[in-house]
Structure 1
């Protein structure tokens, strides 16, 4: 059976000269390959390489930095290797995210479902944003968590029609926007990676970005002002990735989930 690196080289119809694992592939295999013609690429698998390739192409079509899709099949995705030397790029990230969120869809959701590892992401289209968030992002966890937590989810979702905007503009979302999925080289963002795209309220990406860190004033100035009520909605949107982490990685994330429920209940 071919290794991930060998599958990637075969898709490119090149010989494999060298491969090395890449850190960061918690939910998928990830390798950097060197080819016999001197080229390099990143190879990964995942829940749905074809879907991920489609998302990357949509992001690039919007003029947003993202790796080019070099080859893909149902098991393997080969993408461009981008510079990732590190740095501080908050101002550029703010402009990049504003440009991404300027892309508007016709409804909430995406044309196909996706997954974070073993956790499905339901993306069936909807015209009702609070209903979409309740059904596709919160209630979907109830069969997989304990009774008290399921009841907290049910209680919160019953209040969403009065707490979330009914028809925010359906913006193009990255869907898994944290620092590990933002490639930076110097003062510029060189690529957004590992997307889980769909159309929804822009605050979803902003909430995820602030779950494990805090964007500074340079980001805020470049991105633009937040909508009225953002601070009250942030915890509601952060519950989706927190519940996903709880299901994927275990009880170490329970305190985060409980804290976000407490914040949302205030």
Structure 2
């Protein structure tokens, strides 16, 4: 089982020595494989300390080096004026704690999926999320794929990068003895390489903007911060739609698309209903959904997820994978 790193208050104090004196430390819920703590400093500031353990034996390939990915994504997004936590400190020396450390400001708020919003407010937040996405995707890079050198998944073109990402998750599946339709997935990627090649500019994609990673202002329920950018990559903005609706296989939320258009962007999906918009955009979306479904199916094994929800989670992901491959083969 993937276990979190135990971090003591003394270790937190040592890591934060350059920022100030620690008055108290409190664990925060939500991290799936990172240890997440809130530290109160004597000057009144609150910071979040996130520690990704040094043991990489149970990580998927794309997860290698994710602490650096998250830090870089925050820096770029913050520089662009987007609502993400301010990066305060990183420490990958392993001098004080057995892992990579990321320190950000603590942003007060309530997570979207815990806010209990009514329908109208939910639609407003979705449009705001679409505007955030459009702003993020204006940030460009010079290489496609996952940015961390440790993953080895950066490439010069998007077709090359996406093919490498697919091969990596298939290798992970073999390693953890998770059955996947290797041949069908490879064939789908090869068959639609020309469609992938229409993506020529690497754009910053958060890739994990589901409601559990969206912090809302507790008063007005505006978007206070997008969290957990560790899955970020350089690629096709359409990939964002998958991370925001990870078990989705049909229509794309029209409010998110509307907010995206409000901010001057267009993902080519029309009103979000399959059959509307650019057929090539829907083909790319199906490829990304197939890939993401593989990630979800594989990751439950090294992370040793348990509980009644796991069966439904894996079953839905596998059904989505089959549906996407069927639709890609029929295109």
Map of 1:221 onto structure 2: 258
SS in 2 for 1:45: strand
1:199 counterpart = 2:234: yes
Provide the secondary structure at the position in 2 that maps to 1:76. strand
> Hey, what does 2:184 align to over in structure 1?
152
Q: Give the aligned partner of residue 274 of structure 2.
A: none
**Which residue is 1:9 aligned to?**
13
Counterpart contact for 2:247–2:316, Cα < 8 Å:
no
**Partner residue of 2:46?**
40
> Which deviates more, 227-236 or 62-71?
227-236
Residue 8 of structure 1, CA deviation:
3.3
TM-score, normalized by length of structure 1?
A: 0.84
TM-score by length of 2: 0.69
Shift of the 6–179 alpha-carbon distance from structure 1 to 2, 3 Å rule, reads farther
Contact 2:143–2:154, Cα closer than 8 Å, also in 1: no
Distance in 2 (CA, whole Å) between partners of 1:3 and 1:153 is 41
Q: CA deviation at 1:33?
A: 1.8
CA distance in structure 2 between the partners assigned to 1:258 and 1:219 by the alignment: 24
> Any idea what the Cα deviations from partners look like across 1:76-106, whole Å, max 9, x if unmatched?
1111111222454222211111111112223
Where does residue 118 of structure 1 map in the other structure? none
* Mapped contact 1:5–1:43 kept (Cα < 8 A): no
Q: Quick one: structure 1 residues 4 and 170, their matched pair in 2 at CA, closer, same or farther if it must change by over 3 Å? A: farther
**Inter-CA distance 217–41: structure 2 relative to 1 (3 Å threshold):** same
Alignment: residue pair count: 258
**1:134 corresponds to which residue?**
163
Indicate the SS of the match to 1:167: coil
Unaligned runs of 5+ in 2: 53-64, 93-99, 269-277, 302-309
**2:306 maps to which residue?**
none
Deviation string, structure 1 residues 12-63 (Cα, Å, up to 9, x no partner): 3233322222111002111112223322111111255344222211111121
Q: Distance in 1 between matches of 2:67 and 2:180?
A: 36
Q: Once the 2 structures are TM-superposed, how far is the Cα of residue 169 of structure 1 from its aligned partner?
A: 3.0
Give the superposed CA RMSD: 2.7
Contact kept? 1:113, 1:122, Cα under 8 Å: yes
Asked whether the equivalents of residues 101 and 202 of structure 1 are also in contact (C-alpha less than 8 Å), the reply is: yes
Equivalent in 223, 226, 230 of residue 189 of structure 1: 223
In the TM superposition, what are the counterparts of 1:75-114 in structure 2 within 5 Å?
A: 75-85=100-110, 86=115, 88=122, 89-109=125-145, 111-113=147-149
Gaps of 5+ in 1: 115-120
